[in-house]
Structure formats: structure tokens, C-alpha cells
Amino acid sequence: MSRIKIFDTTLRDGEQSPGVNLNHLEKLEIAKQLERFGVDRMEAGFPASSKGDFNAVKAIADTIETTSVTALARTVKSDIDIAWEALKGAKKPAIHLFLATSPIHMEFKLRKTAEEVIQTSVEMVRYAKEKFDDVQWSAEDASRSDLEFLAEIIEKVIDAGATVINLPDTVGYTTPAEYGHMFKYIKDNVPNIDQVALSCHCHNDLGMAVANSMAAVENGATQVEGTINGIGERAGNASLEEVAVALKIRSDFYPYETGLVLDEIKRTSDLVAKLTGMHVQANKAIVGRNAFAHESGIHQDGVLKNVETYEIITPEMVGVHTNTLFLGKHSGRHAFKGKVEEFGVQLSDEELQDAFNRFKVLTDYKKEVTDDDIYTLLMEIKTDSAQIEKYQLDSFQVYYGTGNTPTAVVKVTSPDGGHLEAAQTGRGSVEALYKTIESLIAEELNLIDYQLNSVGGGKDALAEAYVQMSVNGEVMNGRGSHQDVLMASANAYLNAVNRYILKHSTAGKKEKVVQ
Ligand code: KIV
Ligand code: ZN
């Protein structure tokens, strides 16, 4: 069977989802999990876009052992130089150059002629080749480009040294038949195409990203790009876990293999959902909560008689296991450390101590602490570690009862060490709490979305709150967990504010990048 390479862009295209702002420790955690998942390439970011992105790409490049680490760059020398600085420590560095080829992009966005687009692409691939052995070139908006022009430019960038050609459906406009035809045309009309890997990259605006990717594979694509849980700008990207399982389950139709470790899917999906604050819908294929649930009597009956009547994928195949009961009040530091290692999460001594302390507090509330609880707690630690100058919640009280006006009193420490206190009322307890915090924060805050989930079941389950907020007009996600729902809610609110502060500190500031 021939091999399809998997190119993950969760940390670059995925991070372009509104509100998602991962700090560099969170990105590193995801990168390590992607390596365990077995992706062939991971796109770690866009180093020229910000100091924060540069640092994250560099940290990932310096850490990852087996997976090729790539970074996005415009077809300009300075982007290529910056990408090289970030990636030169990688075991397998690669660069991803892109330039638009569709008439609408060339005329209105780039203000370049087709000839100029060819010339710039060829020159910049040659320039990148002086530093990188592995150079991917993408024809942005390929699916709306003229096929003859595409064939011409692709032949030239391959001659200039490109090793991967990517044909994105940038705006999620194409259909499976049309996208498949484009790959076939390029295979048939570019004489040197067999010297390179041919890649597909689909957006999901019409809900066809995975179907389009599969059509590309049927027609000669040897690399599939996408993100975990399908996150990404607008409606997102092709969902890699769906592509992976479709290739496996329908290997009769798609005779290809990947290097993916399928039973790492659930863990990878959970990690990305937790750290980005982007929840997976219950009916999402492969990783949704209901993906393996059979409700109707006829289905349940069929499954009991023979699981294959209605179940085409087993939960175990994608790493879905029932929540194992695990540590409790009497578990020691050694057992706890063992569990952390089992999760593959690396903690400094200080972080481990912090995690153990939080775990002990949790066992006071919860008799049975599950894997999910521990994992949630470890992700909290990772998020906290990266926030140096931040607002800290010192204490709060909420007075609430039927017939009373909910009132909150909150004390926080500001990033400059000042102690702040205020009280406000609201129509409900969460509103009172949020209005009070808002009155203490210098930034202009507006709540867009608020969600509360329980981690596992039971009355003593951990609460996990997610907020999406506008902070000074910018959309930010935040998350917080605690045994108490109000505490989890307060943590989520401050987490979004702190992410904003970190992003706008000198370390994280993003330039507005145009091409
Ligand atoms: O969708 C797209 O065209 C992209 C390019 C940068 C490859 O993400
Ligand atoms: Zn994209």
C-alpha cells in the first residue's frame, strides 16, 4: 500500500480560529501530542507574524524529535530568513511558502500579474532552498485558479527546487468532483510532478473539506493537510481524525496507509479542545460524545446481536475508553507522578508540586478522582505557567437566594501587584460575579459566550467553564475548572483577560501581516 503523509496545521491554520490564542507552553504540549499521534509534518506557526509565534515555533523545533517541523512564510526574503532562524534547530526543518494564483487574488490582493507571481515564486523557492532541503510551495486559492496557469507555475517551482506542491481550497468553495479533477489535471499535465509530494488543503465553508480531501487522494494527492477537530479560520479545515479513520475503515476503497497511531485520536482531540477552548459538538464524527452512542431500540437490539450491524468503528480504535477510576485521598506523590508520566505531560518540579497540591485539594471534595479530572488539572497548570503578569483572583463571595438581588464581592491582585476590591449586583450569580470582575479590570470587556460542562459525571464532578469575550474589541477564549461552578466561571473570565494581556505583552505581540 502506498503511504499518504499527514500534515497537521492545528498550530497555524487552526490557531487562526476566532478567539484561539495558545501560549507557547500550550503549543508545545500540542506539538508533543501530535508527534505521539504520528503526523508526518506539523506546521508550528508563522514566525514572521509575531515574536510570540517565533518563540513558539523555535521551542517546538528544538524539542520535536521525529516529526518534520515546518513554518509558514510569505514569498519574501525576510519571512524566509526569520523562519530559518526559528527552525534551524529542528531535526527535520521544512518551510511552507505560499502565493496566490487565482485571478481575483492576483488582481485585487497582490496587484501582481501572472508573470510576476511566477517570477516571485520561483525566486523565493530558490532562495528558501539555500537554507531548507524541504520546501513546500502553496498556490493559495488554487481551486479558483486557471488550470493551465497552475500547471505552468507548478512546473517552474518544481524546477526551482520545491519538494512539496500544495493546492489549497482556501475559501472552501470546491466540490469533490471538481477538486479531484484539478489533481488529476496537474498529475497529467505537469511533466516533473512525480518528483514532488502533492498535497491537498481544504477549508470547510460548504461542509465538504473531508470529502474534498478524499477526492484529492483518489486523484493523486500524496499528502493531506488538516487540523485536529477541524478547527480553523471561519468554518475550519479538514478534520484530520476523520480523514485518518476514513482511510482506515474504507481501506478497501482507499488503498493507502498513514503513519498515524489511531488510538491517540481521542487524547489528541481532547487536548486541542481543552487548550483552545473550542468544544467538539456531540455529534461530531469520530470524536463527538455521541459518536458511538446508539439511542434507538432497533439499533441497540442490532448492536447486541452483532455490533457490526450498526457500528463501523469501535471506540477502542480511536482511543475512547470508559473513564477509569483512579487515584484518591490516600494516593501518594509517587503514584500521582506515575499518572502524569502516563499522560505524557512533562512538568517541572515546581509544576509537579503545584499539580500534586491541587490534586490533594480535589480529593477533599471528590472521593474518586478520574483520569479526566487529572488531565483537566494538568492543563490548568500548563496554562497558568505561561502567564507571568496577570490578574489573580484572591477571593470572592456571592450572595444569592430566591427573592434577593444577587450580589458579588471580589478581590483581585492586578498585574502590577495592586490589591483591588469591588461589589456589584446582577440578575443572576454569574452576572453579578462577572460585572464585579469587569469593574476591577482596566480592559473593556464584553461576554460573547459562556458554557459550563462537567468533567465526567456525578454530583462531585469538576466543573469546566468556557467563555468567549471581547477584550478591547478583540475576541479571546478563556477556560477555568474547579469543583465549584462559580469559581470555575471566575477563573475562565480572568483567563481570557490574562491571555489578552500575554498576547499584547512584548513577547506575544502580533503584527498585521499582509501580502
Ligand atoms: O488555506 C490556505 O490557502 C492556506 C495557505 C496559507 C496554504 O492556509
Ligand atoms: Zn488554510
| Cα(301)–Cα(420) distance, integer angstroms | 60
Q: How do residues 385-427 score in pLDDT, each as one tens digit?
A: 666 568 999 999 999 999 899 999 999 999 889 999 999 999 9
DSSP class of residue 234? T
- What's the pLDDT band for 300 if we cut at 50, 70, 90? confident
Domain boundaries, the chain: 2-276, 292-321, 333-382, 392-505
pTM of the model: 0.88
Q: Beta strands of 1-87 (E only): which ranges?
A: 2-3, 5-8, 41-43, 68-74
Q: Compute the distance from residue 271 Cα to the ligand 1 centre, in Å.
A: 24
In the chain, % of residues over pLDDT 70: 95
**56-65, 83-92, 317-326, 505-514: least confidently modelled range:** 505-514
Q: Which ligand has its closest atom nearest to the C-alpha of 513? A: 1
Superfamily name with CATH number, domain 2-276: Aldolase class I (3.20.20.70)
**24-38, 185-199, 311-325: least confidently modelled range:** 311-325
Distinct helix (H) and strand (E) counts, the chain? 16, 16
Q: Compute the distance from residue 170 Cα to the ligand 1 centre, in Å.
A: 6
The torsion defined by the Cα of 284, 287, 292 and 293, in degrees rounded to 10, comes to: -60
Helix axis angle, 371-385 to 265-276, nearest 10° = 50
Q: Which ligand has its closest atom nearest to the C-alpha of 140? A: 1
Protein residue with its CA nearest to atom 2 in ligand 1: 170
- CATH class name, domain 392-505: alpha beta
Q: Is 237 helix (H, G, I), strand (E, B) or coil?
A: strand
Contacts of 121 (CB under 8 A, 6+ apart): 75, 97, 99, 137, 153, 156, 157, 160
Supply 144's cell numbers. 479558483
Question: Mutation test of ligand 1: which of 13, 143, 199, 231 has the most ligand atoms closer than 8 Å to its C-beta?
Answer: 13
| Cα(465)–Cα(473) distance, integer angstroms | 21
**What is the residue whose three cell numbers read 479526566?**
372
Q: Is 143 helix (H, G, I), strand (E, B) or coil?
A: helix
Pocket of ligand 1 (CB under 6 A): 13, 72, 98, 138, 140, 168, 170, 201, 203
